[in-house]
Amino acid sequence: MAIKKPYFSLQEIALLSLCAALIVVLNTTFTLPLKIPGHTGIYWVVPVIIGVGIVKKPGAGTFIGLISGILATLFGLNTLHIFNLFIYLALGGIIDILGFLFFYRLDHPAAGFIAGAAGNLAKMVVNFSLQTFLGIPAAFIVIGIGTASITHFIFGGVGGLVAALVLARLLKAGVITRDKT
């Protein structure tokens, strides 16, 4: 009887889980005193893009988002508690989609920048949507949303660029390969 091969191998699950844990660790240890909306995206998106760029399978980003969301909820990283899950899932999901659309060439600086920026923006949109859902009037939410979008875009993009450079170095060093063999 043939044994059904799991979608993610054990090594892939371990890698993706480590990336998810790294997001939570970075969030708790790095407290940059920038006070600019979305500045945490500069390191938040890096493990997700690296995880997706290495595993190269649809669902890898969502898996990272799910695990990091559960961890963030358990550790109480921000005031949204269980709703954190949606924020992290959105971040992972959008990077998943972009990784798929870019043929998993997330080591390319442009692709990395776009994936990071889009991930950070998705996080922002879900965050604002949740706050509206929880009763904060939309009139208050949209104040400064233009500036917040631009800063999320820039910081997420820079984080994506860093991830792309790391992936490119791993490729060059032969630690990972561009195509599966």
Partner 1 sequence: MDFRARVGLACVLLGCFLGGMVVLDQSGEVLFPPGSLEITPGTLIDQVFSKAGFQYGPQIWRPGYDPLGIEPGQGVIDNETWYLMFIDLNATPVSGDPNVKKLGSVRITYNVSDLSGRAAFHTYGLTTGTVPTRTNRQTGYNHCGFVVVGDAPAGSSMPAATSLSLSPTHQYRVAVSNNQQADYAGMTATTRTFTFTQPGSGQGALHITSSLAKPRGEVVETPELNGTFFVTATGNDPGNNLILLLAVDRPQPDGFSLRVRTEFVRTS
* Alpha carbon distances (Å) from 59 to 38, 66, 111: 24, 10, 18
**DSSP secondary structure letter of residue 92:** H
Residue 118 sits in the site that holds partner 1 (CB under 8 A): yes
Count CA within 13 A, CB hemisphere, residue 46: 20
The only residue of 7, 30, 75, 103 in contact with partner 1, by rule CB under 8 A: 103
Q: Which stretch binds partner 1 (CB under 8 A): 13-21, 47-55, 62-70, 113-121?
A: 113-121
Should residue 82 be labelled a site residue for partner 1 when binding is judged by CB under 8 A? Answer: no
Q: Is 140 in the site for partner 1 (CB under 8 A)?
A: yes
CA distances from 43 to 7, 68, 101 (A): 28, 14, 23
Query: What is the greatest pairwise CA distance in the chain?
Result: 61
Amino acid (one-letter) located at 62: T
- Which of 16/124 has CB closer to partner 1? 124
Please report how close the Cβ of residue 128 comes to partner 1 at its closest, in angstroms: 10
Tell me if 145 contacts partner 1 by CB under 8 A. yes
Neighbours of 30 (CB within 10 A): 12
Is 102 a residue that touches partner 1 (CB under 8 A)?
Answer: yes
Stretch that binds partner 1, among 17-25, 106-114, 160-168, 171-179 (CB under 8 A): 106-114
Residues in CB range of 58: below 8 A, 6 or more apart: 96, 100
Please choose, from the candidates 65, 181, 43, the residue with its C-alpha nearest in 3D space to the C-alpha of residue 116.
43
Please select the residue that binds partner 1; options are 14, 32, 136, 175, rule is CB under 8 A. 136
The verdict on 139 binding partner 1 (CB under 8 A) reads yes
Give the footprint of partner 1 on this chain (CB under 8 A): 33, 35, 79, 81, 98, 101-103, 105, 108, 110-111, 114, 117-118, 121, 134-140, 142-150, 153
